[in-house]
Copies of this chain bind each other. A is one copy, B any other.
Amino acid sequence: MLTVNVDLAAHAYPIHIGNHLLDRTELFAPHLMGSTVALITNATIEPLYAARLRSTLAPLGKRLIQIVLPDGEAHKHWETLNFIFTKLLTERADRKTTLIALGGGVVGDITGFAAACYMRGVPFIQVPTTLLAQVDSSVGGKTGINHPLGKNMLGAFHQPQAVIADTAVLRTLPARELAAGLAEIIKAGAIADAVFFDWIETHIDALNRGDETATIEAVRRSCEIKAQVVAADEREQGRRALLNFGHTFGHAIEVGLGYGRWLHGEAVGCGMVMAAALSQQLGLIDSATRTRLKRLIAAAHLPTQAPILGSDRYLDLMRVDKKTEAEQINCILLKRLGEAFVMRVPDHTLRAVLTASTQSDTAAEKPNT
């Protein structure tokens, strides 16, 4: 087991990474106050891992409330959140009840937001079961739900007591979701660590087939990079924005196609290709660098061609994105592989890139399903 420590101003917490951590009672014990635990998961994960986690918690003698959500981004909205609140209140969960999020990014985000709001804040633990959630959504304290007018528009910064990332559970992960997780791993290298980017290129086949050693190392380094960025900028005032590399385009794709058509990681993968194209268009990187990033994303079985939504629709969706202040669009761009920065980009430049990105390849609109 490897442990990455996240050091924040008011709160520090560990991310434990390794095989079969789901069975280790001693990793959960130090983080459970109060007499009650609420295990929150989804209908896909529940039959796979909930009984095992309940057995792991049993020796601690807590009262256990189990809440099973419908699976998928389409359910990451108020109604599902309120389902959690109603269940917690009906079962008399109190202010010391710890919520445990067992699932992917959606379960983690919504459970974290429930923990932030229930009785104005209760503790929670993340047990991410997808590669994406292990490397990205369970680190950094961002929680939230979608609004019909925008993704993740409602939420809170609420840090978990601990993240317990059991890499063995990734064996049951569909190939498409594994690829979606690789997108955030590639992103970590692209924005912050050229050496790690090289390492991913070398190990992409091992990562694609779920090799244990390579996966643990990739998760560790990605968490470390994200934890460092978050610790330096907990409330996303500056440097943390770099973690959104590929996300402004990616969010536009997700919302434009309708939540759930593309996985978040797929949209981010494609968004990074678009951001690289924009960086080249602005003369920041050369064609070879752009091609290198695009090839790695393709090698991870992620889509590299943007769906056709029309430039106006893209710009409209990108402007609603919450990284936007007032009417100008901030883009995260590459200076080189391993270094990113934020810049406002005029609409006409974006239009050129959007047109090119939706026409340049012959790949199908829908990613590998």
Residues of A within 8 A of B (CB): 9-10, 34-36, 78, 82, 85-86, 89-90, 92, 94-96, 116-121, 142, 144, 147-150, 153-157, 235-236, 319-320, 322, 324-327
Contact B89 A320 (CB under 8 A): yes
Q: Beyond A147-B89, A320-B89, is A118–B325 a contact (Cβ under 8 Å)?
A: no
- Is A89's CB under 8 angstroms from B324's CB? no
Q: Whole-angstrom distance between the alpha carbons of A215 and B181 in the complex?
A: 60
Residues A90 and B156 in contact in the complex (CB < 8 Å), given A121-B235, A144-B120:
no
The verdict on A117 contacting B325 (CB below 8 Å), with A92-B319, A147-B85, A320-B89 known, is no
4 extra interface residue pairs, beta carbon distance < 8 Å, beyond A10-B10, A120-B144, A120-B236: A89-B147, A89-B150, A120-B322, A156-B156
Please give me the residue from chain B that is nearest to A149 by CB atom.
Answer: B89
Check if A85 sits within 8 Å of B154, measured CB to CB: yes
Contacts of A325 in B (CB 8 A): 34, 94-96
User: For the complex, what is the distance from the CA of A85 to the CA of B320, rounded to whole Å?
Assistant: 13
Query: Contacts A319-B92, A324-B94 hold; do A78 and B82 have CB atoms under 8 A apart?
Result: yes
Distance (whole angstroms) from the CB of A127 to the closest CB of chain B: 23
Report B-chain residues with C-beta under 8 Å of the C-beta of A155: 117, 119-120
- The residue of chain B having its C-beta at the shortest distance from the C-beta of A236 within the complex is B120
Nearest to A86 among chain B residues (CB) is B149
Closest to A79 in B: B78
> Is A94 in contact with B35, judged by CB distance below 8 angstroms?
no
Q: How far is the CB of A72 from chain B (nearest CB, A)?
A: 21
In contact, A147 and B326 (Cβ under 8 angstroms) = no
Given A144-B120, A153-B85, does the pair A35, B92 have CB atoms closer than 8 Å? no
A150–B92 Cα distance when bound, in Å, is: 11
A199–B265 Cα gap in the complex (Å)?
A: 64
In the assembled complex, 28 residue pairs joining A and B whose CB atoms fall closer than 8 Å, in A order, are A9-B10, A34-B325, A36-B326, A78-B82, A82-B147, A85-B153, A85-B154, A86-B148, A86-B149, A89-B147, A89-B153, A89-B320, A90-B149, A92-B319, A92-B320, A94-B325, A96-B325, A96-B326, A117-B117, A117-B154, A118-B153, A119-B153, A120-B155, A120-B156, A120-B157, A120-B236, A120-B322, A121-B156
List residues of chain B with CB within 8 A of the CB of A9.
Answer: 10
> Which residue of B has the minimal Cβ distance to A143?
B120
Measured CB to CB, the closest approach of chain B to A7, in angstroms, equals 16
The residues of B that contact A320 with a CB separation of less than 8 Å are: 89, 92
> Are B119's CB and A322's CB within 8 A?
yes
CB distance from A213 to the nearest CB of B (A): 36
Contacts of A327 in B (CB 8 A): 92
Q: Which residue of B lies closest to A116 (CB)?
A: B156
